[in-house]
Structure formats: C-alpha cells, structure tokens
Chain A
C-alpha cells in the first residue's frame, strides 16, 4: 500500500489519521524562546491560551529537511506526500529537499493549494484511495479532483492578528483601522479573497452559513474554529440537520496553529468537499 504523509497544518484529527494510516509531521511553533511540535508537545488548547496572553506573536516554522529525510527513510516504500500551499509556505520545498537526501525514497509530492482542513480533506480522500490499493497515478487523479472540489471559508473575529502578522497586506489594506470589521474570506488556491465584511459575530455566522448552503450538495464538511469550540459545535449540529447526503460525519476541529497565529481567537470556518455531480464540467 502507498503511504500517505502530510503536515500538521492539515488539522486532521488524530483518530482519523490513525484509522487511515496517515503520517502527520508536526510543524514547529515558537513562542519567544520556546519551540514546540505542533499537536505533539503543544496542544491546540494550550496554543490558543498562550496566543491570547503572549506578548509577542508566536511564529511557526516548517519541519527541517532532516526531519523530512528521517521520516521518509523510516516509512520507506512508495509515498505520496501532500502539503500546505507552496505559495504560503516553504514546507513543500523543504520536504522535497528532505526527500533528495534519501536516495532510496520514492516520494511523489502534491501541492494542495490550501491549508487546514482544505488540505485535510484532500489527504483523507487520498488515504482512502490508498487503502483501496490504488496506484500513485490514481492517487494523483483523486487529489487533483479533490483539490478542485474543496472550498475553504473563514469568518475572522478580528483583523488584529492578520495585521500584526503582516500577511495578506493587500486584503488588510482595504479595511483601514477606523472601524472594527469582521471579514468573511475564501482561501482559494494560494489566494485569499474577501467575500463579505460585517460588524457583528451574529452577522458573520449568518454569512458563513449562507455561503456554505450556497455551495450546493456537499460530500464532506468540516467546521473549523480558533478557540471557539462551543459555536463550532452548534454550527456543526445545525449543518448536520440541514445538509443531507453527507458521506461522513461532520468534523469539528481547532484550526492549525499557523492559521491561528494569523487569524486570532474566535474565528470560525468551514472546509467542504462539493459533491462530484456539481462540479462536473
């Protein structure tokens, strides 16, 4: 069977990763002088607790090429390694460098063009295909198709963290600092686009729901949050009742620390895989 590797920015819940035999390599989270392995030595809860209280913003860094090399060597055999959008992170190229250090490794790379569960869903669909004994070529076909059908939206509670991080400047520039605004964004293939701007959490939630329903029939759905579990669970409950024909239970997960650093707490999002028929072009 082909082995599936991804990184911790995929947000795949540990039990699902275990069931589908997905290997998740942790990114590093650095608070001041301290470095943690994302999801291993630093839980998401602990991360958001620190994010609120820490004076300096945490930084995230990719695993090193050596860590990738070691991982690929340990797994061995045929590997498909699926990662966060190369446009946002050097992680994919570091992984490729790591693979080049292992002459016997047979690693095929795939750029998901997304992050968080937008990446996670692609990995999960690939892992299922791998379990069915599909070839590398088949897996790449599954991934291409899944990438095309995966949509990722987020409602940010504040622009403060995005501002501090200096990311997505063009987007932030459209807000100024005069009013407190909650943007609804779509994370596309290596791009962030502004969908809507509202001023209350209630309105942000309404727009996120409306945007989700507007996607049409869905195959899979995840509700993402940043230290906002209660709202995320309620939203997942509502989706479970109102969206028919999902092929699997809705996943609720705390968004990746790399995302959390830029989004800040109280964010909410969805990662959906649109049903096949809808995207048939």
Chain B
C-alpha cells in the first residue's frame, strides 16, 4: 500500500472514517507480512493452531466489510470493522481480536472522527470488552497487551494530543508487554516463546503506526534472513485470501529466491509489480525474495533470471486450489436434503478434519460437519452460515479443538437459533459427546450429558515437532515424533510407535477397555494394523479399533476409555 508521507511537525489531531479505513488496511498488510512469524509462536511445536493465520483472516473479514466504503463517519466505519471481524473471527485469538474491535466501535458510537481522548476511551472499552468475552481471562496474553495499550493511550493523551505520538506510545507499550508475557504465563516461558496473540495485536498497531510514519508495509527494509517469508505450506486460508486475485485472472502463485550480486531491490519490485498482484519483493543486493500472483508464471521467472540465479521456485495454481476451497467450504459434507431432522429436533454440528473423521461423525448421526479444525480453524461466520441452513431452531456445536471453542461460542451468540456449544477440545472428546447425544432429551439436558461425556475419554495425538523445545521435562528436537495427552505435550521419541507406547503408558492402558486409533492422511491401514497388533501383544485385554481418520499432520489420534 502506498502511504502518503506525512510532513511533520504538524500534529494529527483527528482520524475520520476513511482515515480508519487506511489504518485497518495498513494493519492487515503488516499482519500479512508477519503471519509466518506469529504462526511460529506456538506453545507446543505442533503444526496447527496458527494464531497468525487466524488473526489475519479475522482482519481480512474486517477489511472486506469496509474495502469499498466511502463512509466518512469513523464510528460507522468502526462498526463495520467490528462486524466484519466478528463474522471472520477464527481461533481464540481471532475471537478476542474481534471483541477488541467491538469495544472500540461501541466507544466511538457514531462520532464523525476520533481524537486523543476518544482514542484513549475506545482503547479502554476495547480491552474491557475483550476481558469480558473470555470465560477465564488469563494474563500474559493478548488481553494483557490490550490493557497495556489502553493504559498507554490514557497516559500519552495527557502529554500530547497528537495521535501519532499516542500511537507511538501505544506500540512501544505493546512491545514491552509482549516481551513480558513469558514472565506472566509460565507455559510461554517453558516453551521459550512470547504470546502469539499479543504479538499479533502489536503487529496490527505497528502497521497503523508505520502507515502514519509513511513507512513501507511490505517490509522491504527488513532483511530476508531476519524475517523469513517461509515457503509455507499452502493452506486453504491462503486460498481464501487470494480469492480476489484469482477472480481477476491472476491465478498463479509464484514464489522464488533470486541470488545475485549488486541487485537493485527497488527496480525488481517495480518490474515484478507490473507483472502481477499481491506483490512481495524483499531483500538486499545479494538475495531477493519474490512472492507474486500472476496470470502467467513464465514472465516473472524470465525476468528474475535476468538479474540472478533462481532458487526454491514454487508455482501454484490458485484457481484450482480456490475451486477446491470453495467446494470444501461452501458445501456442507452432509448435503441439505440428507438432514434427517423434523421440526423440534436438535441439530448437531461437529468440526472435523479429514474424510474418515467426517464419516465417523456422520455415522453417529451428526447433522452437519464443518470441515477443518486442525489446519484450518472455522470462523464464526462458517458456523453461523451452516446454522442458517439447518431446518430446525435448536443446535449443539462441537468444536473438537480448543482453538475453535471461542469462535463457536461467538457463533452461538450471533445466531438467531438456540445454540449451545459443548466445549470439546479434541476429536475423541467430540465423538464421546456425539455418542451421548439423545434426540429424546431436550437441548440443555443433551448439552450437559455431552459435556460430561467429554471428561470420560482420554485423547492422544501424535505428530512431528515443528521445532525444538523442552517442556515439562519433555525434551523435543525438531523432527521428533511428539505425543500429546489430552492436549498437553507429554512424549517425544524417535518413532511413531515409541511415542504411541509412551502415551499408552501415560494413559495407564492396562486399566482401559478400548483404544481407537484414527490413522491420519499419509498412514496406510496396513501400518496402523501393525501398530494395532503390537498394542494387543502388550495389552492383551485391550480392545483395539483401527479407523481411518484422514486428518492432516497427525499420524494418529487416539481415543481411549
């Protein structure tokens, strides 16, 4: 985004609707740039629960709401932002972000513009609203950062009514608080990370500040090595983001590194920008990183070859991905005519990653499946839309992932239907809850019985560590096979089998009756059966069930009772 350089020293005393729009856009771009870094701040080294992606998609929802708005009234624009963020909210951090916007907008009410006092008040209301939106607020998170931001706004406005000055104070307070989060929240310290949600909020505010400073938002001044735009796995999240570019015919996603000597980054950026959209060209005279959406990949690669050698070239057809994404998102896995519901029945909606797990939920009578969970946290809107298609007035939502619970709760509030969220945090918990569903009972009684059922099942999950960590005495090297017991990192070994047996020991499998192995995408039935036989050899009394899960990233999800 081209920011108009501001000639200081005249003060910025007011921001109107269009001004806020530009700030939101700036924060979105800056967040997009920092997305991979924020994603990397997972407490556990597991390949999911991506805070950066979730917050970005939430801001994307906010941006779409005002993208074409010419509204001058800042209160109205803030309302639109808040609504967009609410519906786009994904993951717990996204939901809290949407609550911040909600409070911010409510405070601005219908003011034509905001000044220093309004900003301080809005920041306070934002923080307070976010705190109220969380059942058990935890310090050392985005909440703490939001409160520091509110306090900094209040202090700063007494010193100067210049909004740029106040925002500078806000951003430094946010950064300091983020740095403090490991001291406030022990799990962060153990994991050696700062809080990802707090970091995301800081990036959003920093993006706004950079805009006011007239600084670039595509990070061209950062060295590639310091701020890696990882050639990250293409998740549907990106496909959604890129929908606009695809629609315009810029359907190839091209990424590459150019290595050379004395390259001119500015010139490369100009040339490549002419060829495509969503251009990101960053680096220095020796290394340039390119990420661009183009109608034909050949032109950009041909140009790149003229200035240096090409490395790590990735070309992806976003149109195909987008189509797949649309199919996956917009058609519920259970088509509408198959809803076996009569008026007065209670619908059940479950989040499930993978075809196998989808079938399991369907076989238990789940009304509709929301795809996603581990790679992709569904948004509030995903739930709301699906709820609208269901021909009954009462529903129960099973998020089946700790990071989806808040978006589901938000959807329950937004929906006009009577909806209860049973806070299942894992797939086995969700399946246990679904088993306890009984269409003869009323909504509340079902929700109680289902939640109770989630406490009677043990969950094991096995995946590859995305980085090294030492947590609760478990030493993990990058690439290790790690095991999570009830969502806590408890095991790390060289092989899947070793990790699985460690988990079974921790579960005290000798006292259990039944273990179900849901094998993931990439695991063959035969491999799972070999492990099943090994388990049976060690635990002769255990009933072993092997079921296709088809989930990404996790070799096995284990349910034990």
Tell me the chain A residues, 168-183 only, with Cβ under 8 Å from chain B. Answer: 174-181
Q: Contact: B435 with A197, CB < 8 Å? A: yes
Q: Give the nearest-CB partner of A174 in chain B.
A: B365
Closest-by-CB residue of B relative to A180 is: B545
Smallest beta-carbon distance A37→chain B, Å: 36
Residue tally, chain A, CB below 8 Å to B? 19
A145 to B440: give the CA distance in the assembly, Å.
25
Instruction: Tell whether A196 pairs with B543 under 8 Å between CB atoms, given A174-B365, A176-B364, A178-B363.
Output: no
Given A179-B547, A181-B435, A200-B561, are A193 and B516 also a contact pair (CB < 8 Å)? no
Binary interface profile of B, 542-559, with partner A (CB < 8 Å = 1, else 0)? 010101000000000000
Q: Let me know if B360 and A179 touch, CB within 8 A.
A: yes
The complex places the Cα of A200 from the Cα of B359 at a distance, in Å, of: 21
B363 touches A199 (CB 8 A): no
Residue among B359, B456, B543, B561 making CB contact with A178, cutoff 8 Å: B359
Instruction: Pick from A175, A193, A194: contact of B363, CB below 8 A.
Output: A175
Are B363 and A179 interface neighbours, CB within 8 A? yes
A163 at the interface (CB under 8 A from B): no
Q: B89 interface residue, CB < 8 Å from A?
A: no
Q: Is B436 an interface residue (CB 8 A)?
A: yes
Q: How far is the CB of B356 from chain A (nearest CB, A)?
A: 8
Most chain B CB inside 10 Å of its own CB: which residue of A178, A181, A193: A178
Interface status of A201 (Cβ within 8 A of chain B): yes
Q: Is the CB of A195 within 8 A of B438?
A: yes
Are B436 and A178 in contact (CB-based, < 8 A)? no
Complex-state Cα separation, A176 to B364, whole angstroms: 7
Give Cα A197 to B440, complex, Å. Answer: 13
Residues of B within 8 A of A196 (CB): 436, 438
**What separation, in Å, do the CA atoms of A200 and B509 have in the docked complex?**
13
Q: Are B436 and A197 in contact (CB under 8 A)?
A: yes
Q: Is A202 an interface residue (CB 8 A)?
A: yes
B360 with A199: CB separation less than 8 A:
no
How far is it, in angstroms, between the C-alpha of A200 and the C-alpha of B456 when the chains are bound?
11
Partner of B545 from the list A176, A179, A193, A202 (CB cut-off 8 Å) is A179
Q: For B456, what are the chain A residues with a Cβ–Cβ distance below 8 Å?
A: 203
Chain A residue at smallest Cβ distance from B512: A200
Classify the interface of chain B: helix, strand, loop or mixed: mixed
Are A178 and B360 in contact (CB-based, < 8 A)? Answer: yes
- Nearest residue, chain A, Cβ from B559: A199
Task: Tell me which residues across on chain B come within 8 A of A179, comparing CB atoms.
Answer: 360, 363-364, 431, 516, 545, 547
Is there contact, CB below 8 Å, between B363 and A176? yes
Any chain B CB within 8 A of the CB of A105? no
Asked whether any CB of chain A lies closer than 8 Å to the CB of B71, the reply is: no
Tell whether A235 is near chain B: CB-to-CB under 8 Å: no
- B-contact 0/1 string along A152-169, CB 8 Å cutoff: 000000000000000000
- Is A198 a contact partner of B435 (Cβ separation < 8 A)? yes
CB < 8 Å neighbour of A180 from B364, B432, B438, B543: B543
* Contacts of B395-449 to chain A: CB distance below 8 A: 431-432, 435-436, 438, 440
Q: Given A174-B365, A178-B547, do A202 and B513 touch, yes or no (CB 8 Å)?
A: yes
**Smallest CB-CB separation from A181: which chain B residue?**
B435
Nearest CB in chain A to that of B456: its residue: A203
Which B340-373 residues have a C-beta within 8 angstroms of A? 359-360, 362-365
Which residues from chain B contact A194 at a C-beta distance below 8 Å?
A: 438
Contact assessment for A199 and B561 in the assembled complex, using a CB-CB cutoff below 8 Å: yes
Residue of B nearest to A194 (CB): B438
The interface centre, meaning the residue of A179, A180, A195, A196 with most chain B CB atoms within 10 A of its CB, is A179
Whole-angstrom CA separation of A181 from B431 in the bound complex: 11
CB distance from B512 to the nearest CB of A (A): 8
* B432 contact set on A, CB distance < 8 A: 199
Q: Is the pair A200, B438 in contact by a Cβ cutoff of 8 Å?
A: no
Q: Which of chain A's residues have a CB closer than 8 A to the CB of B359? A: 176, 178
Task: List, in ascending order, chain B residues with CB within 8 A of A177's CB.
Answer: 363
Provide the residues of chain A in CB contact with B365, threshold 8 Å: 174
Question: What chain B residues lie within 8 Å of A200 (beta carbons)?
Answer: 513-514, 561
Chain B residues within an 8 Å CB radius of A193: 440
In the complex, A180→B561 CA distance in Å? 12
Residues of B within 8 A of A178 (CB): 359-360, 363, 547
Please report which residues of chain B, range 306-362, place their CB below 8 angstroms from some CB of chain A when the two chains form the complex: 359-360, 362
Q: Which residues of B contact A174 (CB under 8 A)?
A: 364-365
Measured CA separation A99–B36 after assembly (Å): 84
From A202, which residue of chain B is reached at the shortest CB distance?
B513
Question: Which residues from A are CB-within-8-Å of B440?
Answer: 193, 195
- Which residue, of A193, A198, A203, has the highest number of chain B Cβ atoms within 10 A? A203
Contacts of A175 in B (CB 8 A): 363-364
Partner of B514, one of A176, A180, A195: A180
Residues on A with beta carbons closer than 8 Å to the beta carbon of B438: 194-196
Instruction: Return the chain B residue nearest A206 by Cβ.
Output: B456
Closest CB-CB distance, B454 to chain A, in whole Å? 13
Could you tell me the distance between the alpha carbons of A72 and B543 in the complex, rounded to whole angstroms? 51
The CA-CA distance from A198 to B453 in the complex, in Å, is: 9
CA distance A199 to B359 in the complex (A): 18
Nearest residue (CB) in A for B457 is: A199
Chain A residues in contact with chain B, CB under 8 A? 174-181, 193-203
Question: Apart from A179-B545, A198-B435, what are 13 other A-B pairs with CB-CB below 8 Å?
Answer: A176-B364, A178-B363, A179-B363, A179-B547, A180-B543, A195-B438, A195-B440, A196-B436, A197-B364, A197-B435, A200-B513, A201-B513, A202-B513
Show 14 A/B contacts (Cβ-Cβ < 8 Å), sorted by A: A175-B363, A178-B363, A179-B516, A179-B547, A180-B514, A180-B543, A181-B435, A194-B438, A196-B436, A196-B438, A199-B435, A199-B514, A200-B514, A203-B456
The 9 closest A-B pairs by CB, nearest first: A176-B363, A200-B513, A197-B435, A178-B363, A200-B561, A178-B360, A199-B561, A174-B365, A199-B514
